[in-house]
Structure 1
Amino acid sequence: MENQTLNRKLVNIKTPRGEQGFLGPDHIARAVVMNDFVNSDPFIILMDDFLDKKGGDPVGGPHPHAGFETVSLLLEGEVGDSAHMMKAGDFQMMTAGSGIVHTETIDRESKMRLLQMWLNLPKKDRWTTPRVQDLAFANVPRVYDNGLEIRVYSGTFAGATSPVQNHTPVVIADIQLRPGAKTTQKLHAAYNAFLYVIEGTVEVGEDRQVLNDGQIGWLDKHTEDVESDLILSAGSSGGRVILYAGLPQNDPIVSYGPFIADREEEIKDLYRDFRHGKIRHVSELPAGQRFSY
């Protein structure tokens, strides 16, 4: 007897609120994922940042990270400097690992929208050698089909595979559906997964539960080592949704400030290393630790 197909369904829908961000009154930050790592593993944080900076006074600055990966998808605008500028649709996965310093300074008028994820590393890779991977919008693998466009930034999804290398298996895809479009795609059943709608409305699963613009919907969890079906249908005006799906690591973490660790003592060591200048800046990484696709 064949195994019955697992059809993923929504089990938790939230509407995160925007708050003033750390870059000042022109910065609205929406905490999409935060403070529930036991259930969100391997996803630690997801922020949806809106910036409409009017003046030329610099904001932001250099800061360290260690013990995890930052995963950035720029939806609108530009961010960066002459050494590396991200434009709309670009993607970056920065493996902080054993420690890295990077600078996010904006010193001009700027309008942008950025999704930035903190992704947990497997315990065995917690202190891995840092690396940065940049995937340009023009080179993002795409799938087109009957009013559907899927851009695959990480992992394999809808028959397309991203060139980005993963420590933690993770699928990140931008799914855009025109009115009336519907799609069924395979997703590993053991992946913890959620959908975040950034435009329009999307209906999820056989029961067509509705997710509206600005809402996050978590899918049901499974432990079976099999494929599952993700069914998506567009709302009346179409919809655009970002899929995040990753393999839980099932190891507790300690989070403090810009660092993730396995034990509190490691956090103290990281702060000491940063104060003593032992954590290198991302601009100093050798070519073998920088990848552009």
Structure 2
Amino acid sequence: MSSRQVMKKIFANFEDESDGAVIRQGITKADHELLDPFVSLVEFSVSPPGGFRDHPHRGFESVTYMLQGGIIHQDFNGHKSTIREGDVQWMTAGRGIIHSEMPAEEVNNGLQLWINLPSTEKMIEPQNLELSSSEIPRAEKDGVEVKVIAGESMGVQSPFYTKTPIMFLDFTLEPRSQTHQTVPETWTAFAYVIEGDEGVFSSWDSSTVEAHSVVVFGTGDQVSVWNTSSSRPLRFLLIAGEPIGEPVVQHGPFVMNSQAEIDMTIGDYRNAKNGFEMAKYWKSE
């Protein structure tokens, strides 16, 4: 097997958002070509009375993964749910959705990944799926624990899929442990370090990676990670996906293939048509 090497490291700096939310932006527009099909990765913290109030989306899927507290989701199709620590929400925005994401507790931290949709599926009907922590398969061996949110690891496979095929694994490595994860050779792959500053993500580069960093991998069919700490666990997400190979134009909450499609989307939202018909009438509770 050929081990993937580190191509780039990106530290996710703090950015202040309105309504009492603080975010770390791990993937930005500058990384779209390098990280196809991934559009955005955000680590967020939000407390009442703040939150992500009613806002639209089109053209992609999102995976929201709670690390602490909870988030209350509502959308204009009548869907309402609360995801809490260890839970996941898959949301396919498709042709259009308007929703809110509001804090359920005093302290609420999580991660949200945006995954592009191919042009043939950008205008599909929106949908939501929640997975409770107890529904997420997991495995543990030799000081390594993995939660398999999407894909397969350590002989365990998730039964859940996004439209664009991805792997989404939450690893915790005890001190001095290591893992070697198979990844499809043609897929884009990166890691995001949640906790721990002594992880080594390449057999050729022994330098450690600090928490809140994105580690972008080159080609190969295996990712190897070592926790060199003698006292602290290392927790990271390993995320991989099949590239789409189409142009990406992102404008705020919309992800399309061209500026003309972005202009059309803005017009659809303002005029409450082509998927945004409820925009005139709906408000979250």
Question: TM range, normalised to the smaller chain?
Answer: 0.7 to 0.9
If the length of structure 2 is used for normalisation, what is the TM-score? Answer: 0.87
Cross-structure match for 1:187 = 183
Cross-structure match for 2:257 = 262
Gap runs ≥5 in structure 1: 223-227, 283-293
Once the 2 structures are TM-superposed, how far is the Cα of residue 281 of structure 1 from its aligned partner?
6.5
* Distance (Å, rounded) in 1 between the aligned partners of 2:18 and 2:155: 39
Once the 2 structures are TM-superposed, how far is the Cα of residue 267 of structure 1 from its aligned partner?
2.0
Cross-structure match for 1:35 = 29
Cross-structure match for 2:217 = 219
Cross-structure match for 1:205 = 202
Q: Pick one of 222, 225, 229 that aligns with 1:232.
A: 225
One-letter amino acid of the structure 2 residue matched with residue 204 of structure 1? F
Cross-structure match for 1:277 = 272
* Distance (Å, rounded) in 1 between the aligned partners of 2:191 and 2:227: 13
Residue 66 in structure 1 maps to residue 58 in structure 2: yes
Q: Map of 1:160-171 to 2, 5 A cutoff?
A: 160-171=156-167
Question: Would the alpha carbon gap of residues 214 and 59 (structure 1) be closer, same or farther in structure 2, given more than 3 Å must change?
Answer: closer
* Distance (Å, rounded) in 1 between the aligned partners of 2:210 and 2:239: 17
Cross-structure match for 2:39 = 44
* Distance (Å, rounded) in 2 between the aligned partners of 1:156 and 1:128: 27
Once the 2 structures are TM-superposed, how far is the Cα of residue 100 of structure 1 from its aligned partner?
1.0
Residue 176 in structure 1 maps to residue 172 in structure 2: yes
Count of residue pairs brought into register by the alignment: 267
One-letter amino acid of the structure 2 residue matched with residue 143 of structure 1? A
Task: Decide which moves more: 204-213 or 62-71.
Answer: 204-213
* Distance (Å, rounded) in 2 between the aligned partners of 1:47 and 1:154: 18
Q: Is the 8 A contact 1:62 1:105 kept in 2?
A: no
Gap runs ≥5 in structure 2: 75-79, 280-285
Cross-structure match for 1:289 = none
Q: Is the 8 A contact 1:149 1:176 kept in 2?
A: yes
Q: Is the 8 A contact 2:5 2:219 kept in 1?
A: no
One-letter amino acid of the structure 2 residue matched with residue 68 of structure 1? F
Question: Would the alpha carbon gap of residues 257 and 23 (structure 1) be closer, same or farther in structure 2, given more than 3 Å must change?
Answer: same
* Distance (Å, rounded) in 2 between the aligned partners of 1:142 and 1:109: 26
Residue 19 in structure 1 maps to residue 19 in structure 2: no
The secondary structure found in structure 2 opposite 1:110 is coil
* Distance (Å, rounded) in 1 between the aligned partners of 2:135 and 2:190: 25
Once the 2 structures are TM-superposed, how far is the Cα of residue 33 of structure 1 from its aligned partner?
0.6
* Distance (Å, rounded) in 2 between the aligned partners of 1:57 and 1:147: 40
Once the 2 structures are TM-superposed, how far is the Cα of residue 255 of structure 1 from its aligned partner?
1.4
Question: Would the alpha carbon gap of residues 275 and 150 (structure 1) be closer, same or farther in structure 2, given more than 3 Å must change?
Answer: same
| Percentage of identical aligned residues | 28
If the length of structure 1 is used for normalisation, what is the TM-score? Answer: 0.85
RMSD (CA atoms): 2.1
The secondary structure found in structure 2 opposite 1:269 is helix
Task: Decide which moves more: 60-69 or 270-279.
Answer: 270-279
Once the 2 structures are TM-superposed, how far is the Cα of residue 129 of structure 1 from its aligned partner?
1.9
Task: Decide which moves more: 265-274 or 125-134.
Answer: 265-274
* Larger strand percent: 1
Cross-structure match for 1:80 = 72
